[in-house]
């Protein structure tokens, strides 16, 4: 018996011992296992160009896709408003999934309710679920606003949110003037970034365009403020705080729309804050008067930004600006739009990032990377790698569309380090597996699921993306701004140095190259 | 803004832990007082609801009375819209729980991308195999439905998917189709596709499962549907004279309802084998299609998670005459009781084997209890979990001197509450069925347990409130908790949660100081 009270062995060690190993070996005879030689042969075959070709010929099956569905993005956006309870109309299991998914990434509570539709609602529609659900949520959780979105069930049966919410108000579920913005967010269209876009647009439309016919539309009176939209972002806590710091440094009057940087980073001090921080409803309404709106992620705001532009604002979008040039562009744009000077502090921060790159670029220069993730994140990271002299060899985005592909290819073609690099829209991580076997790279950048690729292909994983379940707290540090660029640089460098050490740490074999100074 | 304020915590646990046995609040009060307090608490909680909802929720909350045959709550009823139920869906019960762990089959999440994505690898159903080649548990296969699939139906896509799986994953031993909500709404005929493709592939096992998320009221119906799919699409396809590929023995048993979370089924299997039994199948943690198929040859089915797999156990009893017995491998008291109960179905050799196993592990049990009981004695626990755990883990806590003062099931039925009342909970325990965020927070705030055991959605809420917490679905990424080896880990984990120094630091010193000053001034 290996177990002891003195040194308790859990799953990490317990099953490695001889007792369990023998037990597991004996279990095999009941499993009707495949011939080990055959397993080996197929394993090797999956590494070949032939397999890659078959793999890329897939038309219907997705294996390990790197995207989630719309309502997740809707929930993420909704909690960015003050006192807002996301309410997802449809089956209840979906909401359990969104809450778990967000909690596993942020290590934070994630509050959201469902209208709990079942078979009868599938037949008769979910109106009663909406009527009861809004009344219950309103009474129990005392929200300032309830933001409604939909699961695919409600979408397939064609429930009409606008009419349902109106009827619910007539039935007294919530007061007539209580804010219940809504967005249809079918899971079979787009991905979580689409859901973010739809939900945010729904909320702005509600406040700006007359609250579903119950109030006059707002008349825009332009002021000097700038609205910022972060987009769906696993680093929202660190990033939005960094953006606010920069805006404050520049003295720019601003509104962060869907500011969920507080609700996903509440203190442990004896109180559970179901709601915390967020864009106030007043600010959300007044955001119509801003001079301009900046989207940090183009593909998270494909509908929202044109909607804002229609209201007369200047709109600018970025693609998850990471690193030197992208941050330069952001800062210059902020200055141009606001007419504010760029303070010397930012020039100094920029200089520090340049300094760090100069100190370390020898280790990154010419290294090949594979990147996967949401379309904007992929673009931002690829652009940063190019300016570091690295080669973003494979850039894959399951939820990237044709326009993303074209824009990526233009980016790659613009740099000598992008030659021979390819962007892959609509592909999944099983495609990436083939790419890593047939065209190996030095490092992989992606979310937690990249660890399966790291294991299978031996490509070291640098964890940047969403979700990150198996490392803690990185979402609290920014990737945006010059400081964020430095954070990304350090993440990459740490992995590069760890890899060099891992390859040179065999006593008696590689006592050379195991250097103390790098 | 909803802010749950934690009252001043009783001077428990954290401060006095290592010095001595802190009596819990509960034990200093009489049963009658506790009952009155709990009843009052339920009344208070119900006040928040609109009248109709209050009436419905009242039936799910109760204070247990000793001697009653059940816990006096309604269960397995639809959740109320908008209350923040903690429950999941039928798909979660089928793909996530029952089918997902079968390692040599490919499980397709059939419909839009989300369901498969959110349930990808999160249950830690451990297995041995070459992932992606002959084992597929931690892969996410999905048909990733697009609008055109909804409009035109997904059967043609499914046909193509099955072909692509056969080509790219040739060593799969079977395929299941786990329906997401749209499948049943758009009228797809996944059964016809399964039959046709099975025939085309020479009788390959292809199992269509109608576990659309809107069916039923929770995960529970998904378990039942998944059990029925095993019956219809695996058992009913077996040739009547089909023999397993191994010689049978009089001591062959199958482990039913153990999902091998953190290796639970392994730390159970080792005990059964040490007592002389032979485990021919694991349902479904680290399980395989061959094991499912061989189970009708078992002499006894031993059932851990009654809730999720009683259906197939009853079926095997009726159809194949295999008896089944429930057991509980949490904590030494229940383990010993269970080993003897299981041995009771066999001859003296096995009965002696059970005694030998109990004796062998007694020194470990003694050492674990000697080390951890003094740190945990008198600590109170509130549970809210699924399946079997709201009752099954109570014995393990009691072995460590702890007391469960509240418990409830996410998706239990009345037979679960009967078992709970008759064998597990103490008089005046607070019972909450299908509890929601609001109720659970109020209950914990008022009862101030030393530990809450529930799920990921609850974890951070209670930790923010300063209450130690362990996830009791996933073992908080630890485990196994089953068996004697698991008990040591369970004890360690409860200790490290409750006695972590961080819980003394949740109040800023200057805020603590100002409170102390105020008190002094009084």
Residues B36-79: tens digit of each pLDDT: 999 999 999 999 999 999 999 999 999 999 999 999 999 999 99
Is B54 catalytic? The answer is no
Residue B22 has pLDDT above 70, yes or no: no
CA dist A194 to A70, A178, A239, Å? 6, 26, 20
Q: Which residue of B has its CA nearest to A111?
A: B84
pLDDT digits (tens, 9 = 90+) for B385-410: 999 999 999 999 999 999 999 999 99
Residues in B 219-238 with any Cβ partner in A closer than 8 A: 219
Q: Is residue B19's pLDDT more than 50? A: no
Q: How many CB atoms lie within 10 A of CB B445?
A: 17
- Do A144 and A198 share a domain, yes or no? yes
Residue A164 CA to residue A143 CA, distance in Å, equals: 19
**Strands in A365-480 per DSSP E:** 368-372, 391-397, 422-425, 443-446, 461-463
Q: Do B143 and A141 touch (CB under 8 A)?
A: no
Closest A-chain CA to B373: A5
Task: Give domain B30-87+362-513's CATH architecture.
Answer: 3-Layer(aba) Sandwich (3.40)
From B289, which residue of chain A is nearest by alpha-carbon distance? A31
Q: Is the pLDDT of residue B15 over 50?
A: no
Chain A CB within 8 Å of residue B399 CB: no
Inter-chain touch A62–B145, beta carbons under 8 Å: no
CB B98 within 8 A of CB B113: no
Residues contacting residue A35 through CB under 8 Å, at least 6 positions apart:
none
Please answer whether residues A228 and A291 qualify as being in contact, where contact means their C-beta atoms are separated by less than 8 angstroms.
Answer: no
Output the average pLDDT for chain B.
93
Nearest-Cα residue of chain A relative to residue B156: A60
Indicate the domain borders of chain B: 30-87+362-513, 90-237, 252-361
Q: Is B32 a catalytic residue?
A: no
CB contacts < 8 A (A, B): 377
- Predicted confidence at residue B16, as pLDDT, reads 38
B123 catalytic? Reply is: yes
Count other C-beta atoms under 10 Å from residue B186's C-beta. Answer: 17
Interface probe with A: pick from B112, B186, B441, most Cβ of A within 10 Å = B112
CA atoms of A370 and B437, how far apart (whole Å): 42
Query: For residue B177, which of B235, B240, B94, B249 has the smallest C-alpha distance?
Result: B94
pLDDT digits (tens, 9 = 90+) for B119-136: 999 999 999 999 999 999
Task: Average the pLDDT over A274-291 and give the result.
Answer: 98
Categorise residue B408: left if φ over 0, alpha if ψ from -120 to 50, beta otherwise. Answer: beta
The answer to whether B30-87+362-513 and B252-361 have equal CATH topology is: yes
Residue A417 covered by a domain = yes
Confidence of residue A261 (pLDDT cuts 50, 70, 90): very high
pLDDT at B310: 98
Residue A448 has pLDDT above 90, yes or no: yes
> Is residue A336 located within the same domain as residue A383?
no
For chain A, helix (H) and strand (E) counts, in that order, are 21, 14
Shortest Cα–Cα distance, B521 to chain A (Å): 24
The pLDDT confidence band at residue B245, using thresholds 50, 70 and 90, is confident
What token pair was written down for A334?
């902020």
What local confidence, expressed as pLDDT, does residue B516 receive? 55
pLDDT for B317 beyond 80: yes
Q: How confident is the model at residue A507 (pLDDT cuts 50, 70, 90)?
A: very high
Measured CA to CA, the distance from residue B402 to residue A458 in angstroms comes to 46
- CATH architecture under which domain B252-361 falls: 3-Layer(aba) Sandwich (3.40)
- One domain for residues A500 and A380: yes
Average pLDDT of the segment spanning A35-64? 98
**Residue B89, Ramachandran bin (φ over 0: left; ψ between -120 and 50: alpha; else beta):** beta
Confidence of residue B512 (pLDDT cuts 50, 70, 90): confident
Q: Does B185 touch chain A (CB under 8 A)?
A: yes
Q: Are B368 and B328 in contact (CB under 8 A)?
A: no
Minimal-distance CA residue of chain B relative to A61: B161
Tell me the percentage of chain B whose pLDDT exceeds 90. Answer: 91
Question: What is the residue range of A300's domain?
Answer: 226-343
What is the tally of structural domains in chain A?
Answer: 4
Judged by CB atoms closer than 8 Å, whether chains meet at A69 and B117 is answered as yes
Q: Is residue A52 part of a domain?
A: no
C-beta atoms of B263 and A14 within 8 A: yes
Q: What are phi and psi of A434, to 5 degrees?
A: -65, -40
Q: Which residues of B touch A270 (CB under 8 A)?
A: 5-6, 464-466, 506-507
Nearest by Cα to B483 from B322, B312, B302, B314: B302
Mean pLDDT, rounded, for A88-117: 98
Say whether both A401 and A423 belong to one domain.
yes
Are residues B246 and A19, on separate chains, in Cβ contact within 8 Å?
Answer: no
Q: How far apart are CA A154 and CA A140, in angstroms?
A: 24
Q: Quickly state the pLDDT bin for B511 (edges 50, 70, 90).
A: confident
Q: What percent of chain B has pLDDT over 70?
A: 92
Q: Give, in order, the Cα–Cα distances in Å from A450 to each of A318, B125, B222, B289.
A: 26, 19, 30, 28
Q: Give kind and range of the element (H or E) at residue A378.
A: helix A375-387
Between CA A155 and CA A161 the distance in angstroms is 10
| Mean pLDDT lowest among A203-207, B24-28, B232-236 | B24-28
**A427 within some domain:** yes
pLDDT band at B522 (very low <50, low <70, confident <90, very high): very low
Question: Which single residue is written with the structure tokens 């397939």?
Answer: A156
Flag whether residue B157 sits within 8 Å of chain A, measured between CB atoms.
yes
Percent of chain A with pLDDT strictly greater than 90: 100
Choose the closest CB to A11 out of B104, B436, B479: B479
- Mean pLDDT computed over A94-118: 98
CB of B291 within 8 Å of a chain A CB? The answer is yes
Residues A107 and A197 in one domain: yes
User: Are the beta carbons of A90 and B181 separated by less than 8 Å?
Assistant: yes
Distance from CA of B344 to the nearest CA of A (A): 24
Neighbours of A506 (CB within 10 A): 10
Q: What is the mean pLDDT of residues B286-299?
A: 98
**pLDDT mean over A447-461:** 98
Over residues B235-264, mean pLDDT: 91
Where a domain ends, among A213, A245, A274?
A213
ipTM over 0.95: yes
Tell me the pLDDT tens digit for each residue of A314-341.
999 999 999 999 999 999 999 999 999 9
- pLDDT confidence of residue B513: 63
Q: Does residue A37 form part of some domain?
A: no
- How confident is the model at residue B129, as a pLDDT? 98
Is pLDDT at B103 greater than 70 in this prediction? yes
Tell me the fold of B90-237: Rossmann fold (3.40.50)
Nearest to A89 by CA among A30, A167, A175, A15: A167
Both tokens assigned to B143: 């048909």
Q: Do residue A396 and residue A491 come from a single domain?
A: yes
According to the model, what pLDDT value does residue B3 have? 41
Query: Which position among B107, B210, B223, B482 bears the catalytic label?
Result: B223
Cβ of B89 within 8 Å of Cβ of A46? The answer is: no
Report which of A369, A379, A396, A376 is spatially closest to residue A55, judged by C-alpha positions: A396
Residues A323 and A354 in one domain: no
Give me the catalytic one of A152, A237, A316, A488.
Answer: A152
Looking at the domain assignment, is residue A268 inside a domain? Answer: yes
Q: Which residue out of B26, B89, B298, B336 is catalytically annotated?
A: B89
Q: Is residue A51 in a domain?
A: no
- Cα dist from A299 to A126, A238, A284, A370, A376, whole Å: 31, 20, 21, 21, 6
Which residues are paired to A243 by β-bridges? none
CA dist A257 and A234 (Å) reads 16
Report the pLDDT value the prediction gives residue B518, as an integer from 0 to 100: 56
The C-alpha R_g of chain B, in whole angstroms, comes to: 24
Label residue B244 by pLDDT band (50, 70, 90).
Answer: confident
Question: Are β-strands B403-407 and B324-326 bridged in parallel, bridged antiparallel, or unpaired?
Answer: unpaired
| Contact of A252 with A246, CB cutoff 8 Å | no
Which residues are CB-contacts of A198 (< 8 A; sequence separation ≥ 6)? A70, A73, A74, A149, A183, A184, A185, A303
Q: Are residues A358 and A338 in the same domain?
A: no
How far apart are the C-alpha atoms of B284 and B94, rounded to whole Å?
11
Mean pLDDT of chain A: 98
Flag if B89 and A94 touch (Cβ within 8 Å): yes
Q: Which residue of A has its CA nearest to B476?
A: A104
CB contact set of A237 (below 8 Å; sequence gap of 6+): A106, A261, A264, A265, A475, A476
pLDDT at B514: 59
Is A187 found in the same domain as A294? Answer: no
Q: Per residue in B179-210, pLDDT tens?
A: 999 999 999 999 999 999 999 999 999 999 99
User: A209 and A257 share a domain?
Assistant: no
A152 is catalytic: yes
Instruction: Please indicate, yes or no, whether residues A307 and A436 belong to a single structural domain of this protein.
Output: no
Best B84, B221, B254, B289 member to test A by mutation, with max A CBs in 10 Å, is B84
pLDDT at A278 over 60: yes
- Note whether A322 and A424 are same-domain residues: no
Calculate the dihedral angle through the C-alpha atoms of B347, B348, B352, B353, rounding to the nearest 10 degrees. -30
Region of B67 please: left (phi>0), alpha (psi -120 to 50) or beta: left
Instruction: Kindly report the CATH number assigned to the domain that includes residue A467.
Output: 3.40.50.1980
Judging by beta carbons within 10 Å of its beta carbon (0-12, 13-18, 19+), is residue A185 exposed, middle or buried? Answer: buried
B489 CB near a chain A CB, below 8 Å? yes
Average pLDDT over residues A414-424: 97
- Quick check: B269 contacting A, CB < 8 Å? yes
Q: Give the pLDDT score at A284.
A: 98
Contact B390, B407 (CB under 8 A): yes
The pLDDT value given to residue B239 = 82
């Amino acid at each position: 018996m290996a177990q002891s009270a003195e040194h308790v062995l859990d799953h990490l060690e317990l099953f490695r011992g001889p007792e369990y190993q023998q037990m597991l070996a004996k279990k095999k005879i009941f499993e009707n296992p495949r011939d080990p030689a055959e397993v080996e042969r197929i394993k090797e075959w999956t590494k070949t160009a032939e397999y890659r070709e078959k793999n890329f010929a897939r038309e219907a099956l997705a294996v390990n896709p790197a995207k989630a569905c719309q309502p997740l993005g809707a929930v993420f956006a909704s909690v960015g408003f003050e006192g807002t309870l996301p309410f997802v109309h449809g089956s209840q299991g979906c909401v359990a999934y969104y809450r778990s998914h967000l909690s596993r990434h942020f290590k934070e509570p994630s509050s959201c309710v469902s209208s709990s539709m079942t078979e009868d609602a599938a037949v008769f529609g979910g109106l009663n679920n909406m009527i009861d659900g809004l009344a219950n949520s309103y009474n129990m959780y005392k929200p300032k606003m309830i933001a409604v979105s939909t699961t695919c069930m409600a979408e397939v049966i064609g429930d009409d949110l606008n009419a349902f919410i109106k009827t619910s108000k007539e039935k007294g579920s919530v007061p007539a003037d209580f804010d219940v913005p809504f967005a249809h967010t079918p899971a079979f269209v787009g991905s979580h970034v689409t859901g973010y876009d739809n939900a945010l647009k729904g909320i702005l439309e509600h406040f700006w365009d007359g609250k579903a016919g119950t109030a006059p539309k707002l008349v825009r009176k332009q002021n000097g403020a700038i609205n910022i939209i972060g987009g769906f972002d696993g680093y929202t806590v660190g990033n939005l705080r960094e953006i606010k710091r920069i805006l404050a440094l520049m003295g720019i009057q601003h509104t962060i729309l869907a500011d969920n940087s507080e609700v996903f980073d509440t203190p442990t001090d004896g109180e559970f804050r179901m709601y915390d921080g967020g864009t106030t409803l007043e600010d959300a309404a007044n955001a119509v008067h801003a001079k301009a709106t900046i989207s940090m992620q183009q593909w998270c705001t494909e509908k929202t930004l044109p909607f804002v532009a229609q209201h007369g604002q200047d709109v600018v979008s970025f693609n998850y600006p990471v690193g030197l040039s992208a941050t330069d562009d952001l800062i210059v744009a902020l200055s141009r739009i606001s007419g504010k000077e760029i303070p010397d502090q930012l020039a100094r921060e920029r200089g520090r990032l340049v300094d760090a790159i100069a100190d370390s670029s020898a280790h990154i220069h010419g290294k090949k990377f594979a990147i996967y993730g949401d379309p904007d994140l992929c673009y931002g990271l690829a652009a940063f790698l190019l300016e570091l002299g690295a080669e973003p060899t494979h850039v894959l985005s399951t939820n990237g569309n044709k326009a993303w592909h074209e824009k990526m290819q233009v980016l790659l073609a613009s740099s000598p380090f992008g030659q021979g690099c390819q962007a892959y829209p609509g592909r999944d991580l099983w495609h990436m597996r083939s790419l890593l076997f047939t065209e190996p790279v030095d490092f992989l950048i992606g979310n937690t699921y990249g660890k399966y690729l790291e294991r299978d292909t031996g490509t070291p994983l640098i964890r940047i993306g969403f979700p990150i379940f198996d490392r803690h707290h990185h979402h609290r540090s920014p990737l945006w701004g010059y400081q964020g660029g430095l954070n990304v640089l350090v993440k990459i460098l740490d992995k590069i140095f760890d890899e060099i050490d891992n390859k040179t740490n065999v006593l008696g074999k590689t006592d050379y190259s195991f250097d103390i100074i790098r | 803004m909803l802010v749950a304020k934690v009252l001043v915590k009783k001077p428990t646990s954290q401060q006095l832990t290592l010095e001595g046995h802190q009596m819990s609040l509960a034990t200093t009060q009489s049963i009658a007082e506790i009952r009155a307090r709990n009843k009052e608490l339920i009344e208070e909680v119900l006040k928040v609801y609109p009248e109709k909802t209050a009436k419905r929720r009242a039936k799910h909350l109760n204070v247990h009375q000793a001697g009653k045959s059940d816990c006096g709550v309604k269960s397995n009823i639809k959740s109320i819209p908008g209350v923040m139920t903690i429950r999941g869906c039928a798909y979660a019960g089928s793909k996530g729980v029952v089918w997902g762990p079968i390692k040599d089959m490919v499980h397709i999440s059939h419909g839009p991308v989300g369901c498969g994505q959110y349930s990808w690898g999160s249950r830690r159903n451990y297995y041995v195999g070459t992932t992606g080649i002959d084992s597929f548990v931690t892969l996410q296969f999905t048909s990733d439905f697009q609008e055109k699939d909804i409009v035109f139906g997904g059967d043609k896509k499914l046909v193509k998917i099955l072909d692509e799986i056969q080509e790219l994953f040739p060593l799969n031993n079977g395929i299941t189709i786990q329906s997401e909500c749209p499948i049943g709404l758009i009228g797809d005929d996944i059964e016809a596709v399964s039959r046709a493709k099975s025939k085309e592939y020479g009788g390959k096992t292809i199992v269509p499962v109608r576990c659309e998320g809107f069916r039923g009221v929770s995960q529970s119906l998904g378990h039942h549907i998944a059990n029925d799919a095993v019956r219809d699409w695996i058992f009913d396809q077996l040739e009547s004279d089909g023999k397993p590929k191994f010689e049978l023995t009089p001591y062959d048993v199958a482990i039913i309802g153990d999902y091998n979370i953190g290796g639970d089924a392994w730390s159970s299997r080792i005990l059964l084998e040490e007592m002389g039994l032979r485990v021919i199948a694991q349902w479904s943690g680290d399980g395989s299609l061959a094991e499912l198929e061989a189970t009708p040859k078992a002499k006894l089915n031993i059932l851990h998670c009654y809730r999720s797999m009683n259906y197939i156990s009853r079926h095997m009893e009726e159809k194949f005459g295999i008896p089944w017995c429930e057991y509980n491998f949490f904590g030494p008291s229940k383990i010993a009781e269970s080993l003897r109960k299981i041995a009771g179905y066999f001859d003296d050799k096995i009965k002696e084997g059970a005694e030998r196993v109990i004796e062998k592990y007694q020194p470990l049990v003694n050492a674990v209890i000697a080390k951890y009981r003094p740190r945990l004695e008198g600590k109170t626990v509130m549970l809210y979990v699924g399946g079997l755990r709201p009752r099954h883990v109570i014995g393990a806590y009691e072995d460590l001197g702890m007391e469960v003062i509240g418990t409830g099931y996410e998706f239990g039925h009345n037979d679960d509450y009967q078992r709970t009342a008759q064998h597990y909970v103490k008089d005046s325990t607070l019972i909450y069925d299908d509890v929601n965020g609001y109720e659970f927070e109020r209950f914990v705030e008022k009862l101030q347990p030393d530990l809450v055991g529930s799920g990921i959605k609850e974890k951070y809420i209670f930790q923010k409130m300063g209450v130690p917490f362990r996830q009791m679905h996933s073992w908080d990424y630890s485990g196994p908790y089953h068996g004697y080896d698991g008990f040591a880990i369970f004890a360690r984990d409860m200790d490290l949660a409750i006695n972590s120094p961080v819980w003394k630091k949740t109040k800023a010193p200057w805020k603590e100081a100002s409170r102390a000053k105020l008190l002094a001034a009084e």
